[in-house]
């Protein structure tokens, strides 16, 4: 009863004090804080005179996924653009290899053979090392970090600058989240277990492994299964559980070495031929930007649900998850920092 009386008295006092405030006053009004966060898009668009273009545009777009789950991000994006444009802007998602191979996609879009592409920018590290930064950095950014950096920080400006050197306009367009570790034919935990083995991995993790005495090489996703089956590599990583389960690595490798320190997240992007982008009417440009952002958020949620199901199925298939030793993780981290 005493506790109730105290609560009641507190409410009465607060209510009385609130009534005593002059009309129109608020708690925020008592302090004169200046607004310090601004939406740059609002500033760019607030005076813009929007018109619905009468153009009918059709593009062709391909990816590096070879029919893997990541291709769903491409289809989702194309469906969104078609819907929001009321059928006026159609982007046809082509399968990998229908026009060019996975690793020829960048040049094909840059030269205008295709209008747009979807990929993981780490594949283009041979053109500029900075491409890896926008894809996956070992021991570094996860999905939330990438989203904040790109959509609200300086990431978008830096990415535009990098792709712009090659006649391309980029957008973040899907994140596959935390990746699995290495699929391996043998359990490996210590640093000694990794010495001299052949591993499939791209990006900066490939460079890190090679510096540490591991023979790492980049192989396109659709070719990884055969590389494992034929013994070209002893271990391999590609992507998240949902994606690798469908690739069948567990049919050959019964061990997964965790954690996936090489890729705390796998950021994917849409890149468009700059001339094609410049030719688009303003309302179509806005549609692309909005649909890319929506696809970026959608695919992460979509993929995470699929990851849960995939891990369960991998365990049911007899896959054993092996923890990399703390000492080995520390060695990988030291080389990464260097």
Confidence class for position 6, pLDDT limits 50, 70, 90 = low
225 in the same domain as 79: no
Query: What pLDDT shows up at residue 11?
Result: 47
221 in the same domain as 83: no
User: Could you report the per-residue pLDDT of 285-316, keeping only the tens digit for each?
Assistant: 999 999 999 999 999 999 999 999 999 999 99
Q: Let me know: does 131 contact 103? Beta carbons within 8 Å.
A: no
Instruction: Tell me the CATH number at 251.
Output: 3.40.190.10
Instruction: Tell me the CATH number at 173.
Output: 3.40.190.170
User: Could you report the per-residue pLDDT of 230-255, keeping only the tens digit for each?
Assistant: 989 888 888 888 888 888 999 998 99
186 in the same domain as 82: no
- On average, the pLDDT of the chain sits at 88
Task: State what percent of residues in the chain have pLDDT above 90.
Answer: 50
Q: Is residue 132 part of a domain?
A: yes
Q: Is residue 140 part of a domain?
A: yes
| Cα of 283 vs its chain's centroid, Å | 26
244 in the same domain as 145: no
240 in the same domain as 198: yes
Q: Is residue 166 part of a domain?
A: yes
User: Could you report the per-residue pLDDT of 160-212, keeping only the tens digit for each?
Assistant: 999 999 999 999 999 998 888 889 989 888 888 888 888 888 778 888 888 88
290 in the same domain as 156: yes
Q: Is residue 8 part of a domain?
A: no
Peptide bond into 269 cis (omega under 30): no
Number of domains in the chain: 2
123 in the same domain as 260: no
Asked if residue 21 has pLDDT above 80, the reply is no
What domain range includes position 304? Answer: 57-177+265-308
Task: State what percent of residues in the chain have pLDDT above 70.
Answer: 91
Place of tokens 């993929």: 303
| Contacts of 197 by beta carbon, 8 Å cutoff, 6+ apart | 188, 214, 215, 234, 235
241 in the same domain as 202: yes
């Amino acid at each position: 009863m005493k506790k109730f009386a105290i609560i009641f008295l507190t409410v009465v006092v607060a209510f009385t004090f609130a009534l005593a405030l002059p009309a129109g006053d608020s708690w925020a009004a008592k302090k004169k804080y200046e607004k310090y966060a601004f939406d740059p898009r609002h500033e760019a668009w607030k005076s813009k005179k929007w018109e619905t273009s009468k153009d009918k545009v059709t593009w062709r777009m391909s990816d590096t996924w070879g029919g893997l789950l990541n291709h769903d991000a491409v289809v989702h994006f194309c469906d969104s653009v078609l819907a929001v444009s009321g059928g006026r802007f159609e982007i046809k998602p082509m399968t990998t290899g229908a026009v060019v191979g996975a690793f020829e996609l960048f040049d094909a879009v840059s030269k205008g053979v295709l209008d747009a592409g979807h990929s993981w920018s780490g594949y283009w590290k041979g053109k500029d090392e900075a491409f890896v930064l926008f894809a996956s950095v070992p021991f570094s950014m996860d999905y939330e970090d990438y989203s904040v950096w790109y959509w609200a920080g300086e990431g978008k400006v830096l990415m535009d600058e990098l792709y712009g050197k090659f006649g391309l306009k980029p957008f973040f367009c899907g994140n596959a989240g935390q990746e699995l570790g290495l699929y391996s034919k043998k359990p490996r935990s210590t640093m000694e277990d990794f010495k001299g083995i052949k591993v499939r991995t791209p990006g900066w993790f490939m460079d890190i492994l090679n510096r540490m005495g591991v023979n790492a090489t980049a192989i396109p996703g659709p070719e990884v299964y055969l590389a494992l089956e034929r013994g070209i590599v002893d271990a391999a990583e590609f992507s998240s559980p949902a994606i690798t389960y469908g690739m069948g690595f567990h049919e050959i490798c019964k061990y997964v070495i965790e954690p996936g320190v090489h890729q705390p997240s796998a950021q994917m992007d849409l890149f468009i031929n700059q001339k094609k982008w410049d030719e688009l009417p303003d309302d179509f440009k806005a549609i692309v930007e909005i649909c890319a952002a929506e696809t970026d958020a959608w695919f992460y949620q979509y993929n995470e649900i699929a990851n849960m199901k995939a891990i369960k199925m991998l365990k049911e298939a007899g896959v054993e998850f092996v923890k990399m030793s703390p000492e080995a993780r520390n060695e990988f981290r030291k080389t990464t920092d260097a």
